[in-house]
Amino acid sequence: MRIDSEYTLLEKLGSGSFGVVYKAIHEETGRTVAIKQIDLDSADEDLDHIRQEIQVLAQCCNSPFVTRYYGATVRGFRLWIVMEYMNGGSCLDLLRAGSFTEEQIGCVVYQLLQGLVYLHSESKIHRDIKCKYWMAPEVIQRAQYNEKADIWSLGITAIEMAQGLPPYANLHPMKALFQIPKNPPPELDDVAKPRFTDAFHDFLRCCLVKDAHQLLTHSFLRTHSRQGDLVRTMVLRYQAMRGNSPPHGQSKDTPDRQPPVAGDADTSHTEDDFQWDFDLGTLSTRTALNVTTESLKRTLLAEIPASVSPMAVPSPLRVSPAGWASIDYSESLPASTAKAIDAMRKRWLHQCGQTAGP
């Protein structure tokens, strides 16, 4: 796929610390992609992180459990990171429709773990550098850390899926940073605790000490690992919720599919766009440079330190469950799944104070 060719931007998918993500069509191939647009003008302090994210993404394209990276290009004053479109959204998105059951957590965690096993086998550590509540104590303390830091984050993510929020979510992030290394590993809160089996509690405890390979054989995952339909029902639950409320980052009256707004997303791109006043060599100081997309890519990749560390395939939640990119959720479902979806829909409508229809 040629990254410097044309894209048609569709709706906004969401936004994160570094930029806004759009759904888009790559005109040459007709492929649907996701494009993260980073405003280079305001990203000064984060440029190192962005560079690291691109480096890691560029090297990690060989697992169905990790979001595929297609390339990066500069359009005007924005850096575009083109990647696989995950039509189920992120786990964080799915959580907006309510916390997960133990079965659902097992199914998602199993796939997240497969992504981590792949990354670790490539000597890469995910280590989300910016999300404080999920950070392992050794990362917070800037001590030596290894891939176990990711397993800690996975455990925190599992707690978040069970309770809807990570531990210490009621604290200011800086306060949480002090508490995490000081306190014993967190557990489920008293409300969530009784809803889960001993196997799950044990799994959480293990996440704080064990490596990813050992965890794949944990009895908790053996029970839940093969229930792919569950992911689908969670996506449907989230999509049902989106039917009534706008996706993260969009106002209620914004249509789902909207043409890009001038100044918001750049859709017009000419060769001139690639001649922004920007030093692509260091991504930190600005000197006038005429660059092509290829040279951007080469420079970005060459500039990134060889010793990879902080990985930012976005959050621990973004190691994508297998097949999300290709599953068409509108296809007809087995009766048992349809029943489960209906139950979730009713639960959600109930939570919103509405009555479920027929």
Ligand X SMILES: Nc1ncnc2c1ncn2[C@@H]1O[C@H](COP(=O)(O)OP(=O)(O)OP(=O)(O)O)[C@@H](O)[C@H]1O
What does the block give as tokens for 132? 């404080």
Residues 121-150, interacting with ligand X (CB under 6 A): 130-131
d(CA 316, CA 60): 15
- Verify binding: residue 181, ligand X, rule CB under 6 A: no
- Verify binding: residue 54, ligand X, rule CB under 6 A: no
One symbol per residue from 337 to 356: x for binding ligand X (CB under 6 A), - otherwise; what is it? --------------------
Nearer to ligand X, 129 or 206 (CB): 129
Determine whether 44 is an active site residue: no
Tell me the site size for ligand X, rule CB under 6 A: 24
- Verify binding: residue 324, ligand X, rule CB under 6 A: no
d(CA 311, CA 128): 6
d(CA 16, CA 312): 12
Nearer to ligand X, 131 or 207 (CB): 131
Helix axes 102-121, 198-207, angle to 10 degrees: 30
Of the candidates 37, 54, 93, 250, which one interacts with ligand X according to CB under 6 A?
93
Nearer to ligand X, 134 or 203 (CB): 134
Binding-site residue positions for ATP: 36
Print burial letters for 133-157: b (CB count within 10 Å at least 16), e (below 16): bbbbbebbeeeebebbbbbbbbbbb
Residues for the chain: how many in total? 358
d(CA 325, CA 345): 23
Of the candidates 14, 64, 98, 186, which one interacts with ligand X according to CB under 6 A?
14
- Verify binding: residue 104, ligand X, rule CB under 6 A: no
d(CA 216, CA 132): 26
Nearer to ligand X, 85 or 276 (CB): 85
What does the block give as tokens for 72? 């990066």
Residues 67-86, interacting with ligand X (CB under 6 A): 67, 83-86
What does the block give as tokens for 55? 């480096």
Q: How far is the CB of 159 from ligand X (least distance, A)?
A: 18
Ranked by CB distance to ligand X, the top (closest) residue is 16
- Verify binding: residue 34, ligand X, rule CB under 6 A: yes
Cite the active site residues: 128
